Amino acid sequence: MSTGPEPPRISRPAGPSSDGAARAASSVDRVQAAVREKILSGVYPPGSRLILSRLAAEHGVSFIPIREGLQRLESERLIETEPHRGARVAEISIADMRDIYETRVVLEQHAVRTAIPKLTDESLKVAGDALDRMEERFAADRQAEAYQAHQAFHFALYEPAGSAWTMHVIRLLWASAERYVRLAAGVRPAPALFVAEHREIFDAVVSRDVEAAVESLIANLRTTEKLLAANYESVPHRVDRG
């Protein structure tokens, strides 16, 4: 039985290919990561201007990935944009650093309180492996890798809390806090003491002792905050605005 002619097919304009979109996203990710690293390490010091043309030439991309990457970094509070003047690396201050750590204390103790009842053997293994890796990398004087393992340890304890928003904000705070740590000469505690503090946190978590875990975590954050404050109070960090 005939049902009549087929309805005409509507041709749709071709959109951007998935490969093209992926390449564009990859360029933005690469620019964001590279500029962030240079801000954290002090290559782009606080207050310095970020010139689009220079950044585009430096990273071998067009202005579009540069603009998008800078927008992301502004959301992380690592850069600031000024009307008619463009982008600058955000300034640093003791007040800002203290604010970061006060907020970290609130969010991270909440995350660990919520996560402990949900931690699985696999979660504990991930955290324990990261802690062992942190100790090994410190002993081998591989500082950057040690601090990567340090972050992995903390996040392995927080992520089982199951709050995407809490983790999002914690990640932003860690990026800002790392900037202060990296720019502060000699601020890091002795590696053995630093690892021991984290062993205390881990042992309390494994024992499901929520209050002991929270107490050890807060003590660890407060110690770093005090070291940073002492450094920035004694050594003014100035920037040439040239």
pLDDT in tens, 135-149: 999 999 888 788 889
pLDDT computed for residue 239 by the predictor: 40
Is the pLDDT at 233 greater than 60? The verdict is: yes
- Please give the structure tokens belonging to residue 233: 């109070």
Average pLDDT of every residue of the chain: 86
Is the pLDDT at 133 greater than 60? The verdict is: yes
- Please give the structure tokens belonging to residue 51: 């010139």
pLDDT computed for residue 2 by the predictor: 45
Residue bearing the bigger pLDDT, 166 or 242:
166
- Cβ-count burial of 151 within 10 angstroms (0-12 exposed, 13-18 middle, 19+ buried)? middle
Return the domain boundaries, the chain. Answer: 22-89, 94-234
pLDDT in tens, 75-100: 888 999 888 788 999 998 899 999 99
Phi, psi of 126 (to 5 degrees): -60, -45
pLDDT computed for residue 25 by the predictor: 64
Q: Write the DSSP symbol of residue 237.
A: -
Domain 94-234 falls in which CATH fold? Four Helix Bundle (Hemerythrin (Met), subunit A) (1.20.120)
Top CATH class, 22-89: mainly alpha
Least confident of 19-28, 60-69, 109-118, 156-165: 19-28
Q: pLDDT grade, residue 127 (50/70/90)?
A: very high
- Please give the structure tokens belonging to residue 4: 């009549």
Q: Answer positive or negative: Cα dihedral of 143, 101, 91, 226.
A: negative
